Amino acid sequence: MNLKELAHKLGISQTTVSRALNGYPEVSEATRRKVREAAEVHNYRPSLRAKSLATGRSMAIAHVVPVSSKHEMVNPIFADFIAGAGEEYARAGYELLLSVVADSDHDRMYRDLVTRKAVDGLVVQAPTLTDNRIPLLADLGIPFVVHGRSSGVVSAYNWLDVNNRRAFERATGLLLDLGHRRIALLNGLATLDFAHRRSDGYKRALLERSITIDPELIAHDEMTENYGYEVARRMLAQPNPPTAFLVSSIIPAIGVRRAITDAGLEFGREVSIVIHDDDLSYFRNAGDVPLFTAVRSSVREAGQRAAAMLLEIIRRREEGIADEAPMQILMEAELTIGQSTGPRALSRARAQN
């Protein structure tokens, strides 16, 4: 059933049917009701393709999720981010186009999506230190929002980010307050911008207390469980092992915990952990006293808000509202104390048994 047939069936022009269904005012309530009923009865839905060709809008947003070219991995936190964004898109009648693409092909992918007019807007995930996707998209002139920031990009753009520096500065501060001096940082991939902001926060807190930074205690990699395990195991076997770990995600933190217990040490007593908690739905760090002490920021909420921001940008552009200052949201992480942290005094005492 298409528009033509429906109009014919009703003995009304296509114009009127189209207007009736799209809520235009220049159609009488009587006909509007008749049209609505007929559409319902015959289960009529306008063809998306025809509609988007006619309107010039495709009512779709693309998320290009990077797949690590080395390891062919796709980060599970995207699942929650996309769930949040998808919710918002569904509400507004947008579709979500997902491309899983090796980092190296991102440029071509974005260019393609834009020049083929596949989508009305884009979300950029996991920006690197100087991410050339940002100038590229700005150049292509399509609305986009970055989840995170790219320190090396000077031009202004729309982004939504967590205050990673502050979060990690606070987390480090907490461990310092507990007396820890050898604090390991298990960070994400060194190419990613957020990892640098986290390092910055960590280092700033240490330097403020005049503690020299030991590069041996800093690791960068894909945030898998196994990475957490292997690095923690190695570090704990050192002559002067860390008494605390700051871990960029709950997933490697699970590995760190495993390494701690494997080494016969007591988690949260002899060795402390603070994590960045994305509030992943399958890894809720919940409970009265959650397992991990954490700086928490829901990635699902980030997805939802990034999507809302993008839709707002698109709306404004369509209404011809002049491009004002770019939209930028900085979310603060909240610190919650769990079972994974304790004073260093105790841990040293125990370790000396």
Partner DNA sequence: GATGAATATCAAAGCGCTTTGAAAATTCAA
Partner DNA sequence: TTGAATTTTCAAAGCGCTTTGATATTCATC
Residues near a copy of itself, by CB under 8 A? 43-50, 52-53, 58, 60, 67, 71-76, 78-80, 82-83, 86-87, 90, 95-101, 111-112, 115-118, 222-226, 251, 254, 257-258, 261, 280-284, 286-287, 291
Q: Is 319 helix (H, G, I), strand (E, B) or coil?
A: coil
How far is Cα 253 from Cα 231, in angstroms, rounded to an integer?
Answer: 11
Candidate residues 23, 40, 56, 154; the one interacting with DNA per rule CB under 7 A: 56
Candidate residues 8, 36, 41, 53; the one interacting with DNA per rule CB under 7 A: 53
| Residue 338 binding result from a copy of itself, DNA, none, given CB thresholds of 5 to 8 Å by partner type | none
Our CB check for a copy of itself shows the closer of 100 and 337 to be: 100
- For the chain, give the number of residues: 353
What does residue 271 show for φ and ψ, rounded to 5 degrees?
Answer: -130, 130
| Residue 19 binding result from a copy of itself, DNA, none, given CB thresholds of 5 to 8 Å by partner type | DNA
Candidate residues 33, 41, 50, 237; the one interacting with DNA per rule CB under 7 A: 50
Please choose, out of 1-9, 92-100, 147-155, 341-349, the segment that lies near DNA by the rule CB under 7 A: 1-9
Question: 43-71 as b/e, with b when 16 or more CB fall inside 10 Å?
Answer: ebebeeeebbeeeeebbbbbbbbbbeeee
Candidate residues 23, 40, 55, 319; the one interacting with DNA per rule CB under 7 A: 55
Candidate residues 11, 23, 239, 264; the one interacting with DNA per rule CB under 7 A: 11
| Residue 14 binding result from DNA, a copy of itself, none, given CB thresholds of 5 to 8 Å by partner type | DNA
| Residue 283 binding result from DNA, a copy of itself, none, given CB thresholds of 5 to 8 Å by partner type | a copy of itself
Our CB check for a copy of itself shows the closer of 112 and 208 to be: 112
Q: How far is the CB of 110 from DNA (least distance, A)?
A: 18
Single-letter amino acid, residue 118: A
Quick check: 23 binds DNA (CB under 7 A)?
Answer: no
Q: Is 327 helix (H, G, I), strand (E, B) or coil?
A: coil
Our CB check for DNA shows the closer of 6 and 223 to be: 6
Quick check: 46 binds DNA (CB under 7 A)?
Answer: yes
Quick check: 31 binds DNA (CB under 7 A)?
Answer: yes
DSSP 120-151: SEEEE-S-BTT-THHHHHHHHT--EEEES--T
Q: How far is the CB of 14 from DNA (least distance, A)?
A: 5
Q: How far is the CB of 240 from a copy of itself (least distance, A)?
A: 26
Quick check: 69 binds DNA (CB under 7 A)?
Answer: no
| Residue 40 binding result from a copy of itself, DNA, none, given CB thresholds of 5 to 8 Å by partner type | none
Cβ 63 vs Cβ 82: under 8 Å? yes
Q: Where are the beta strands (DSSP E) in the chain?
A: 60-67, 95-102, 121-124, 144-147, 159-162, 183-187, 218-220, 244-247, 272-277, 293-296, 328-331, 334-336
Q: How far is the CB of 89 from DNA (least distance, A)?
A: 19
Q: Is 81 helix (H, G, I), strand (E, B) or coil?
A: helix
Our CB check for DNA shows the closer of 13 and 69 to be: 13
| Residue 127 binding result from DNA, a copy of itself, none, given CB thresholds of 5 to 8 Å by partner type | none
How far is Cα 223 from Cα 245, in angstroms, rounded to an integer?
Answer: 14
Name beta bridge partners: 295.
276, 335
How far is Cα 44 from Cα 36, in angstroms, rounded to an integer?
Answer: 10
The two tokens of residue 191 are 């190419």
How far is Cα 173 from Cα 309, in angstroms, rounded to an integer?
Answer: 33
Q: How far is the CB of 152 from a copy of itself (least distance, A)?
A: 26
What does residue 185 show for φ and ψ, rounded to 5 degrees?
Answer: -120, 115
Cβ 341 vs Cβ 273: under 8 Å? yes
Residues that bind DNA (CB under 7 A): 2-4, 11-16, 18-19, 21-22, 25-28, 30-31, 44-47, 50-51, 53-56
